[in-house]
Amino acid sequence: MNILVIGSGGREHAMCWKLKQSPMVNALYCAPGNGGTAAEAINVELDTGDHEAVVRFCAEKEITLVAVGPELPLSRGIADDLEKAGVKVFGPSYAAARLESSKIFAKELMGSNGIPTAAFRIFEDFEKAEEYIRAQGAPIVVKAFGLAAGKGVVVADDVEEAVRAAREMLVDEKFGSAGQKIIVEEFLTGEEASILVVTDGENILPLVSSQDHKRAGEGDTGPNTGGMGAYSPAPVVDEKLFGDVIENIVKPTIKAMREEEKPYKGVLYVGIMITDEGPKVLEYNVRFGDPETQVILTRLKSDLAELMKAAAEGDISGVKAEWDDDEYVCVVLASGGYPGSYEKGKEISGIREAEKEGALVFHAGTALRDGRLVSSGGRVLNVVGKGRGIKEAVENTYRAAGKIHFDGMYYRKDIAHRAVARTAA
């Protein structure tokens, strides 16, 4: 079968790397891809916002399965348009993608199906939002209802910060239409984890647990980023908790989507906070996590193409997933200044040496310029290492990361610190 992967980050490089190993796959394409996917797939310059062009490309190359990496194409209905043309898609329809593209849809679905999440109120009117925020007090969380590239969430330590965020969204239209409505939400405390499952709309195949680090700085401080690292498994998610999340969160979500006639297929990512009252949903994503995917797919021993095809065709009941028992760590090498402004075009060296240390190096923001590999984004490379136990996995990953260099490069030195502390204790 011929497969097209849509996207251009480390997640898509990991997807291509894994798909390429499948005996089921003939030709593998990635649109637009990056400097790393070029080694696994044929990169294609395709405007993935132009669904007709994608349909034409699939017909021309006899592509029968499209695996969508990021949420944006899904939220624009790429799955619907491809399926109308007879191409199967790993990823939900426009209607089902609203679990991520509308935080209000997600919150209301949770509310009416008893799925645990932070208490919330929805506002369109700034004055009413301000009044509510002042009455509730801080800490408190303010979220834009639509897609805002991960930047539409403000966890405010004081009331003024929350009011400012609400004003920026509702009055100043900082996020455009994505901020026309906001959710003001109860602040939850606990440890976060990511639970991903593959589903055909009815059957559920849980993937291994993972945890990412969203903050730019060590000790999980500083501004939010797309993710500075991840590890799998997340030891905070023991068997009981995992079962609890599947039974009380994942299953009711998939069932509710079916009942609302928005059957969900593809991968569902549930971001949870493990509170004293049990796990609560922070967010749904309708796609693989980045960088969680880099530690999940590397642990997967089974055939990803088979799994994706089965989900896209609507029956995963015959598919099983086998996992490597080792622990995996991913460290993101970023451009100096990220997530603020940063320079691009820095020449990258040392990838071979890192690979000689046993690590996998996925590209997130790289490009080939005159035959040289240069940085082309904020998150540049993802170094993935493994070990028997989290401590060894961390050591192996950082030893490999230390071999890589580009001007201004920085990375967090404490990825998986919670897992290390938990294991030591």
Which DSSP string corresponds to 185-251?
EEPP-SEEEEEEEEESSS-EEEPPPBEEEEEEETTTEEEEEEEEEEEES-TTS-HHHHHHHIIIIIH
DSSP string, 55-78: HHHHHHTTEEEEEE-SHHHHHTTH
**Residue 292 contacts ligand GLY per CB under 6 A:** yes
Instruction: State the binding partner of 285 from ligand GLY, ligand AMP, none, CB within 5 to 8 A by kind.
Output: ligand GLY
User: Binder to ligand AMP among 214, 265, 287, 403 (CB under 6 A)?
Assistant: 214
Does 188 interact with ligand AMP (rule: CB under 6 A)? yes
Question: Do the beta carbons of residue 200 and residue 382 sit within 8 Å?
Answer: no
19 phi/psi in degrees, rounded to 5: -65, -35
Asked if 362 and 7 count as a contact pair (C-beta separation under 8 A), the reply is no
Q: Is 227 in the site for ligand GLY (CB under 6 A)?
A: yes
Residue 40 CA, distance from chain mean position: 21
Query: What is the closest distance, in whole angstroms, from the C-beta atom of residue 369 to ligand GLY in the complex?
Result: 28
Closest to ligand AMP by CB, 185 vs 303, is: 185
Q: Which range binds ligand GLY by CB under 6 A, 90-98, 287-295, 312-320, 348-356?
A: 287-295
Residue 9 site contact among ligand GLY, ligand AMP, none (CB < 5 to 8 Å, cut-off depends on kind) = none
The DSSP output letter for 297 is: T
How far is Cα 29 from Cα 48, in angstroms, rounded to an integer?
Answer: 13
Q: Please tell me whether residue 290 binds ligand GLY under the rule CB under 6 A.
A: yes
Q: Is 283 in the site for ligand AMP (CB under 6 A)?
A: yes
CB of 152 to ligand AMP, least distance (A): 7
How far is Cα 390 from Cα 286, in angstroms, rounded to an integer?
28
Positions 147 through 186 that interact with ligand AMP (CB under 6 A)? 153, 155, 185-186
225 binds ligand GLY per the rule CB under 6 A: no
200 binds ligand AMP (CB under 6 A): no
Residues that bind ligand AMP (CB under 6 A): 118, 141, 143, 153, 155, 185-188, 192, 214, 271, 282-283
Residues that bind ligand GLY (CB under 6 A): 212, 227, 285, 289-290, 292
